[in-house]
Amino acid sequence: MEQQTIPLNDRDLSWLYFNYRVLSMAGEASVPLYERVKFLSIFSSNLDEFFRVRMPALLALHHLREGEKGALAAAQQEIARQLNEYGKIFTQSVLPELREKGIRVYYGESPAPEHLPSIRDYFYNTVLAYLQPVRIQFGQPMELFLENNALYLVVCLEDGGTGVVNIPSDHLPRFLRLSGNDVIFMDDVIRQHLGFLFPHVGITAAYSIKVTRDAEIDVDEFSGHLLQKVEDMLVQRQMGVPTRFLFDAAMPDALRDQLGEYFRIAALEMVPGGRYHNLRDLSDLPLPAAPSLEYPKMPPAHCHAIDLDKPLLDQIQAGDKMLHVPYQSYDYILRYFNEAATDPDVREIYVTLYRVASTSRIVHALMSAAKNGKKVTVMVELKARFDEANNLRWAKRMKAAGVRILYSIPGLKVHAKVALVKRKRGFSWDHTALLATGNFNESTARFYADHILFTRHQGITQELELLFIYMQTGIAPGKFNFMHFEHLLVAQFNLVDQFTSLIRAEAEAARAGKPARITIKLNNLQEKSMIAELYAAADAGVEIDLIVRSICCLVPREGIRVRRIVDRFLEHARVFIFHNGGEEQVYLGSADWMNRNLHRRIEVCFPIYDPVYRRQLKDIIHLQLTDNTNAVILGADARNLPVPREAGAAEVNAQRDTYAYVRQL
């Protein structure tokens, strides 16, 4: 099949349209006010990551390929449009509504006189300890290095000189709560006292700046021991080349150009912004308790298929169990690892860890298991972007506790989320497996929507053991008469071939005049060969429904509908449903359909054999396909389009209704 001719939407614009959907949630009056503040924070954080990870590629293509120059311009134009709307939502909607609720966030305004003493005391007693004011000399070699994503004020002095002072938001809270419910940016606490930092000369103006640096560094390019490679990479990342110089748009052009020359910033990397940067810090805005301004609480439900008074490992031996988090409690996952750590019959534990909680109770259970004499083997992915330092820290601690640590496979990331526990009772062994669509991370599990399977299925547990043998030895299943994967779909082995076969089987059924349907939920869809297979299936008459949260390069067409859901929880699960002549095949897993996932990672997708859980998954997916509140439809250009709702039609909110559904299971 000729992949080069298939229609595709631009990857980066598709992602930017996703982030625009996040921004639009901040502008919706139906979203509680405090939650709108959080969406503003998430949008800003997402955009920072885009400039660290994707903008370097766009800049490189702009310089290398004449035909790619339009991609950079289109992305920059879309970003400028979104930032303009961001400013309007924040200043003309969110801030005024906060003030109506008695919460005043000073935004470019002078604080009330009664606040000046407390601002003064905070500056001299706390903030001043972290400040490094310097005068810079234009035309001289650069003596000041702007740290990645750090905040600075450029200060214009009456004698014609220029000063720069850091805003230490990495060390102190970004906001100072004043008496009542008034709040001031730390930036303005410093602005109030610039005369102290640059004495004996007047201050004429101050403008905020920040530099974002390239974070896309391939650890496989380094030489030496892997741990040292990662540590070197973390240092190099902070020294990466600039991809964005964000400056206050009120700054005079002449000063901007001088700063660009001094800090060696190219014109393409200069982006005008507002008075304040790093508005991802809005997530830490000190807001008074007000339940009416937040989403209604959704305390995780108990999973009634699990008896809290009986050992979980024994219950799994009696039959599969499935969790839908965060609608159901993540405590069962913690219990699984805690029981494995202390059950005297458990001999071996195997786990893959991709993103670990900063205070991980799961890791503590694994360390306890090793200290309890069990053989514990953990594959720690040291190349998990932006989690490298945390994973490295935990890997060292686990190794010191006696855990056998497996580090990254050269050229591959291990993105699978699986665990295997082996017990020996008398002369017999039993195995239980834990397979998930999301990380073993109790922190993110509070707001990532995922599905988790506990199973004792002999075929699945045996194949999981084969995968861990491969990760330990490099010996692939199928060599030396080892078993092949028949139940699990594993990237690098059979995952692409099996998904291709499943899609083609639906196409054959459609051509034969039989019912044929495919429903797939992903975070990202970009890999050309899989998109081509979906196009071919739709052309054959297969009805295809896709739920794609973020990047979607597939162009919707007749027979293929694409939805996106952005709501209080991050839709993170990957779900694959094939009609299969009425005997539906349902898979869950860790794999998006991206080049990196299918060709440069170890991913695991796993079948759901229990008809009860297949029905639950189908019911949840049905709610997502009928959501007419927070879902949008993707147009042919990848933009978000509203879901049409017929007059009198019932309101469907997938996340709210999934919570109600799960509670009554």
Greatest C-alpha distance within the chain: 87
Distance CA 451, CA 330 (A): 11
Q: Is 46 a known ligand-binding residue?
A: yes
Q: Is 148 a known ligand-binding residue?
A: no
Contact 343, 313 (CB under 8 A): yes
Beta strands at 375-380 and 346-353: parallel, antiparallel or unpaired: parallel
The residue annotated as part of the active site, out of 62, 277, 415, 431, is 415
Residue where the block lists tokens 């240092």: 235
Q: Is 385 a known ligand-binding residue?
A: yes
Distance CA 468, CA 14 (A): 36
Burial tier of 350 (Cβ tally within 10 Å: 0-12, 13-18, 19+): buried
At 395 the three-state DSSP class reads: helix
Beta strands at 242-248 and 270-273: parallel, antiparallel or unpaired: parallel
Task: Please provide the size of the chain in residues.
Answer: 665
Which residues, listed in sequence order, are joined to residue 631 by a DSSP beta bridge? 565
Q: Which residues contact 661 (CB under 8 A, 6 or more apart)?
A: 619, 620, 623
Residue 374: CB atoms within 10 A of its CB come to 22
Q: Which tokens is 2 given? A: 């000729």
Q: Which tokens is 504 given? A: 């083609």
Single-letter code of the amino acid located at 665: L
Q: Which tokens is 125 given? A: 């007693």
Contact 606, 487 (CB under 8 A): yes
Output the CA torsion sign for 368, 371, 375, 379. Answer: positive
Distance CA 482, CA 493 (A): 13
CA count, 13 A, side-chain hemisphere, 425: 7
- What is the DSSP track for 79-116? HHHHHHHHHHHIIIIIHHHHHHTT-EE-SSSPPPGGGH
Q: Is 304 a known ligand-binding residue?
A: no
Instruction: Report whether the peptide linkage leading into residue 7 is cis, meaning its omega lies within 30 degrees of zero.
Output: no
Q: Is 63 a known ligand-binding residue?
A: no
Instruction: Report whether the peptide linkage leading into residue 326 is cis, meaning its omega lies within 30 degrees of zero.
Output: yes
DSSP structural state of residue 31:
S
Decide if 415 is catalytic: yes
Q: Which residues contact 556 (CB under 8 A, 6 or more apart)?
A: 562, 633, 634, 635, 636
Angle between helices 495-511 and 528-540 (to 10 degrees): 10
Show binding-site residues for Mg(2+). 355, 385
Q: What residues act catalytically? A: 415
In the annotated binding site, the residues are 46, 355, 385, 448, 549, 572
Known binding-site residues for ATP equal 46, 448, 549, 572
